[in-house]
Structure 1
Amino acid sequence: MMKKLQTEALELLKCLIETQSFSKEEEPTADLLTKWLVNRGVEVKRNLNNVWAVNKYFDDRKTTILLNSHHDTVKPNQAYTRDPFEAKIEDDKLYGLGANDAGGCLVGLMSAFLYFYDQKDLKYNFVLAATAEEEISGENGIAYLQDIMPQIDLAIVGEPTLLNLAIAEKGLVVFDGKVTGTPGHAAHIPNDQNPIFKALKDLEWLNSYQFSKTSPSLGEVKMTVSQINAGHQHNVVPSALTFVVDCRVTDQYTNAEIAEIISTNTSCEVVPRSLRLNSSFIDPNHELVKAGVAMGKTTYGSPTLSDQCRLTCQSVKIGPGDSLRSHSADEFIYVEEVYQGVEFYIDLLSKIV
């Protein structure tokens, strides 16, 4: 059965690559995934461009594990030398947009779900969710589906991690800052309300502040002033200065706590664009983590965002492929990685069910 699952997973991945599925335009791949599951006897549910299902003998009294990955992709960058929608194997590499991020993970999780789908007396329920809009952290993907699916107690999020376990993931808050002043002619007497100089104290604080709590797996919260803008000509003192802060949040703080700390320590206007992209984690002593470590896998904290940031339960990020290939030109995944992903997910879940 394993060989059959691996072969069919690779063929499904090829079909996904050859079906355009940019964020918010995932209907064709949602159709494809629905048909693939229905043809294998799965009772499928569809909400917007999200495809999901529960195992055949789902029991409300049991703990539920979500198997989640996404089927949307970014748009191909201009450095591509290949047709991004041609699924072509060369030198044991399957090339194509979305092959690595996160097609290999998705077909692996779907295969594992199919393996357990009609088994009786499982310790856990399984919910499979192939979701939309992950690449843009959209509202019509996992965030939308979370209120529709059964209650989820634990999630496995499929993203390329070389099959190691990302047991924590940094959240993100982007802040917009504004300092107002008094405009005037640059040739006149000194203007002590020049917003450029008024901003210096707050910018220095943002650059040097160290948060007191350090995460064992994610390290320190990191704030970076990434954009700044003021003035439009050399002889005019501007009326305002604006800046942007990129803040990567660890599991030691909520996004709201970060916003409060910044507000308390700055005198200018600093407003978060959103507080919804939270950090995530799983207890390192959870049996799923222990099972992965027993299989020779390492654990680490991930600096990159995934659908984990929208989940309200504990979650772990695991998948075949390499995150460094994501969004790259001529994206690829090794064929053997696809096969290993199918086998790994099944073996991992077999150790806890």
Structure 2
Amino acid sequence: MQVKELQQQAIELLKKLIETQSFSGEEDHTADHLEKWFRDYDIPCKRHLDNVWAVNKNFEETKPTLLLNSHHDTVKPNSAYTRDPFKAEIEDGKLFGLGSNDAGGCLVSLLATFTYLFSEENLTHNILFAGTAEEEINGKNGIAALLPEIPKIDVAIVGEPTLMNLAVAEKGLVVFDAIVKGTPSHAAHPNTDNSIYKTAKVLEWFEKFKLEKVSENLGEVKVTVTQIQAGSQHNVVPAKVHLVIDVRVNDKYSNEEIEQILKEKAPVDEIHARSLRLNSSSIPLDHELVKAGIDLGMDTYGSPTLSDQTMLSCPSLKLGPGDSTRSHSANEFIYVEEVEEGIEKYIKLLGKALKEMSH
């Protein structure tokens, strides 16, 4: 199969995806487009909810499996758009449209790569492609719902815009709700147990709080108070103040460890994690995928942004065409050349790594 043909068809598919609304939870029509791609190339595929997946022709249960994954849902366009977000237009080498960069370019590049390698023989790993839903909302009907339906995954490439550099680690996320309690009273009366005044000291504690383990790839755990809510009227001191704390977790801690530390140390009356499932992720620097990428001139770095890697328990690498800074921006775009080069680089990376990765 010719790479050039796959590049052209991938761009055409990306245009169709852009012009098909696929907000998180509403991806049924873009899933239809993915199924049609597989039919056009005579590749058997399966669909679970709006997640579409397929395995390579020479799949063997005794071999480890490499997952190629990206998502086909989008956020809603913001109010700063001056273009029609659902119109795919190419100008000056840029393909404009909602989801073009995050993560349509990655999705079609991985799909073209899977198609190119579909009939390859004597690979060290099986290849499984999955185009998944609800990534933008970490939804239960996305990759989390698909994982029980597919073969066991041993290593993964997750397609997100990284300028085709190797994101070898990704921070996890835990959101905490905390309560600072005080004594409610009329504002006109003395009160030495004012919950809002007490919260000032709590905020100072969070601002200065540091966790000691620093990651080589992801740096420190970042703890940030992002919301405060208290009071209902001007003349009443409230009984409590509600805080929301956003914690970006490096690969030196589990989410459960972070929860335990804050429960023991934070100077609040109550603190509870909303969820512990969005874990940090990483891949060893001496993994064949990483070494192959470095040999191809790709740089390594740690990513502060979340992806479907958080749902995977195996080593995983985030890699894809496009630039993360364009994601969720007005008049989103990806360079056509980025998609074309992405397909070439994915094929070279896997061609090199899948001949070197041992069972």
In structure 2, what is the equivalent of residue 341 of structure 1? 342
Cα offset, 1:219, TM superposition? 0.2
TM-score normalised by length of structure 1? 0.98
| Paired residues for 1:1-353 under 5 Å | 1-189=2-190, 191-266=191-266, 267-353=268-354
Contact 1:199 1:268 in 2 (8 A): no
Q: Which amino acid aligns with 1:112?
A: T
User: Hey, what's the Cα distance between the residues in 2 that align with 1:121 and 1:185?
Assistant: 78
Cα deviation digits, residues 272-292 of structure 1 (max 9, x gap) = 111111100000110100000
Contact 1:202 1:268 in 2 (8 A): no
Cα offset, 1:89, TM superposition? 0.5
Cα offset, 1:185, TM superposition? 1.3
Cα deviation digits, residues 289-330 of structure 1 (max 9, x gap) = 000011111000000001011111110000000001001111
TM-score normalised by length of structure 2? 0.96
Cα offset, 1:152, TM superposition? 0.2
The answer to which of 320-329 and 193-202 deviates more is: 193-202
The answer to which of 310-319 and 265-274 deviates more is: 265-274
Q: Which amino acid aligns with 1:94?
A: L
1:245 aligned counterpart, secondary structure: strand
Contact 1:17 1:99 in 2 (8 A): yes
Cα offset, 1:98, TM superposition? 0.6
Cα deviation digits, residues 150-204 of structure 1 (max 9, x gap) = 0000010000000000000001111111122221112223x22221233344333
Contact 1:169 1:279 in 2 (8 A): yes
Contact 1:168 1:217 in 2 (8 A): yes
Contact 1:24 1:132 in 2 (8 A): yes
User: Hey, what's the Cα distance between the residues in 2 that align with 1:69 and 1:25?
Assistant: 16
The answer to which of 89-98 and 116-125 deviates more is: 116-125
Cα offset, 1:61, TM superposition? 1.0
Cα offset, 1:12, TM superposition? 0.8
Cα offset, 1:226, TM superposition? 1.0
User: Hey, what's the Cα distance between the residues in 1 that align with 2:187 and 2:174?
Assistant: 36
1:242 aligned counterpart, secondary structure: strand
User: Hey, what's the Cα distance between the residues in 2 that align with 1:330 and 1:346?
Assistant: 29
Percent identity, aligned pairs only? 61
Cα deviation digits, residues 235-262 of structure 1 (max 9, x gap) = 2211111111110000000111001000
Q: Which amino acid aligns with 1:31?
A: D
User: Hey, what's the Cα distance between the residues in 2 that align with 1:119 and 1:289?
Assistant: 22
Runs of at least 4 residues off by over 2 Å: 197-205, 232-235
Cα offset, 1:233, TM superposition? 2.9
Q: Which amino acid aligns with 2:48?
A: N
Cα deviation digits, residues 32-60 of structure 1 (max 9, x gap) = 10011121011100000000001111011
Contact 1:179 1:199 in 2 (8 A): yes
User: Hey, what's the Cα distance between the residues in 1 that align with 2:209 and 2:345?
Assistant: 42
User: Hey, what's the Cα distance between the residues in 2 that align with 1:98 and 1:27?
Assistant: 15
Which consecutive unaligned segments of at least 5 residues does structure 1 have? none
Cα offset, 1:121, TM superposition? 1.5
